[in-house]
């Protein structure tokens, strides 16, 4: 049986369905899209069986930092990660747990997509420190990130391809419509956090090209 190099699962109950194949140890690319029923426990069981994994897409799932930590420790060759979420504006939540897990365990990342994540500037800074080889970073709809001042300058200098929180989402493969939820006490009189951002926050630094977030296979041989 030839080595299994790529596996794509959509809306699957458990990733272990492909583990009986002895060639799984050679798996290099894994996509788990909209697999809401996959638990941290199940994915952690799988992680140590994927030592050659280089590319992982876990978009739109219930996976937490526990799985990210397990994958980071078990998959030292990981270069590309898509950990996208459904975006919403309310309730206002800030969470850097996933960002810290990525920064602490995935030092070899080249490409990172965090669409709709709730990380803050602290989480972003941790990623920049912990992933020194990062070339492309997608922060679209990461509305807690404020890229003004020194942090914006560092991103411009360190990241070759950067997508900002308010960049277009036309080609995003999942539903990118923002759920604004209901107004709460954090935003009296219908004012949202977008009203507190100046134009300079996201337009002070111009990033060339606005090209597509690098496809995983373009970096496959690096």
* Structural domains of the chain in order of their starting residue, each with its CATH number: 6-219 (3.80.10.10)
- DSSP 8-state secondary structure symbol assigned to residue 106: -
Residues 6 or more apart from 93 whose CB is under 8 A from it?
118
Handedness of CA 14, 17, 21, 26 (dihedral sign): negative
Average pLDDT over residues 122-126: 98
State residue 36's pLDDT score. Answer: 77
Among 39-48, 124-133, 174-183, 187-196, the range scoring the smallest mean pLDDT is: 187-196
Average pLDDT over residues 135-148: 95
Written as six digits, the tokens of 59 are 């978009």
Separation of alpha carbons 163 and 211, rounded Å: 9
CA 212 and chain centroid, separation: 15
Confidence of residue 222 (pLDDT cuts 50, 70, 90): very low
Written as six digits, the tokens of 181 are 């939820």
State residue 96's pLDDT score. Answer: 98
pLDDT in tens, 173-220: 555 455 555 434 443 333 333 333 333 433 333 333 333 334 434 444
Using the predicted structure, report yes or no on whether residue 81 has a pLDDT greater than 80: yes
Residues 6 or more apart from 77 whose CB is under 8 A from it?
51, 52, 53, 54, 108
State residue 23's pLDDT score. Answer: 53
Separation of alpha carbons 222 and 220, rounded Å: 6
Using the predicted structure, report yes or no on whether residue 86 has a pLDDT greater than 60: yes
Kind and range of the H or E run holding 72: helix 65-74
Separation of alpha carbons 124 and 183, rounded Å: 27
Separation of alpha carbons 116 and 126, rounded Å: 18
Collapsed DSSP state (helix, strand, coil) of residue 14: coil
For residues 18 and 103, the model is more confident at 103
For residues 8 and 73, the model is more confident at 73
91 preceded by cis ω (within 30°)? yes
- Paired strand residues for 111: 80, 136
Confidence of residue 118 (pLDDT cuts 50, 70, 90): very high
Which range is most confident: 36-50, 54-68, 82-96? 54-68
Greatest CA separation for the chain: 64
């Amino acid at each position: 049986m030839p080595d299994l190099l790529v596996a794509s699962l959509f809306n699957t109950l458990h990733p272990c369905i492909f583990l009986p194949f002895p060639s799984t140890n050679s798996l290099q690319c894994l996509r788990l899209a909209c697999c809401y029923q996959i638990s941290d426990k199940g994915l952690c069981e799988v992680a140590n069986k994927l030592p050659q994994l280089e590319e992982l897409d876990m978009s739109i799932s219930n996976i937490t930092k526990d799985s990210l930590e397990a994958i980071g420790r078990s998959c030292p060759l990981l270069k590309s990660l898509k950990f996208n979420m459904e975006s919403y504006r309310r309730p206002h939540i800030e969470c850097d747990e996933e960002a810290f897990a990525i920064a602490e365990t995935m030092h070899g990342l080249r490409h990172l997509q965090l669409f709709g994540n709730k990380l803050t500037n602290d989480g972003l800074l941790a990623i920049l420190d912990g992933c020194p080889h990062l070339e492309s970073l997608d922060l679209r709809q990461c509305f807690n990130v404020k890229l003004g001042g020194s942090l914006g300058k560092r991103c411009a200098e360190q990241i070759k391809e950067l997508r900002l929180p308010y960049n277009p989402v036309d080609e995003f493969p999942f539903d990118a419509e923002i759920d604004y939820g209901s107004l709460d006490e954090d935003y009296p009189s219908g004012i949202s956090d977008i009203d507190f951002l100046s134009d300079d926050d996201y337009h002070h630094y111009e990033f060339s090209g606005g090209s597509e977030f690098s496809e995983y296979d373009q970096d496959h041989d690096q």
